[in-house]
Amino acid sequence: MAGELTPLVLLPRYTTYVGASTGTVGKEYVTIAMDVTEFQTAIVNSWRGKMLGTSPTFGLTFQESSDQVNWTPCAGTNVSAYDPGEELEGQSTATLTKQWFRVKVVLGGTSPAGTCWAAGFLERRLS
């Protein structure tokens, strides 16, 4: 039996990002880390619009951490470099095993720009 679901908005409708993600601080597009100790799963629907730029790429990675310094991809479905496709909505299910959770948006290509959103539910751990 599933635990209680708590609504979650990670990227509000419609969030736009411009510029390639370089992996350096200041060019990473990440949400604020949230404490998910009470939760076992994140069920997230995401959408992205048409990409602009030369050979643009898009990906969402759902990450977790024990210390908010070292981040690793969550286990689950569609959780690493996930792209739902142009003007399509898709679902990801992340298994939460660490205290902190966030989403990272990765843009690639030359001068990429894209609009997206991500919202869903956190499933409370059963005691």
- What six digits make up the tokens of 61? 């990675």
- pTM for this predicted structure: 0.92
Average the pLDDT over 6-18 and give the result. Answer: 96
- What six digits make up the tokens of 10? 């990670």
Distance CA 81, CA 120 (A): 18
Distance CA 28, CA 116 (A): 16
- CA 93 vs CA 18, 78, 125: distances in Å: 26, 7, 15
Strand-pair category, 88-95 with 39-48: antiparallel
Domain span at residue 75? 5-124
Segment 19-38, tens digit of pLDDT: 988 765 556 799 999 999 99
The answer on pLDDT for 69 being more than 80 is: yes
Domain count of the fold of the chain: 1
Question: The domain that contains 36 carries what CATH number?
Answer: 2.60.120
The answer on pLDDT for 1 being more than 50 is: no
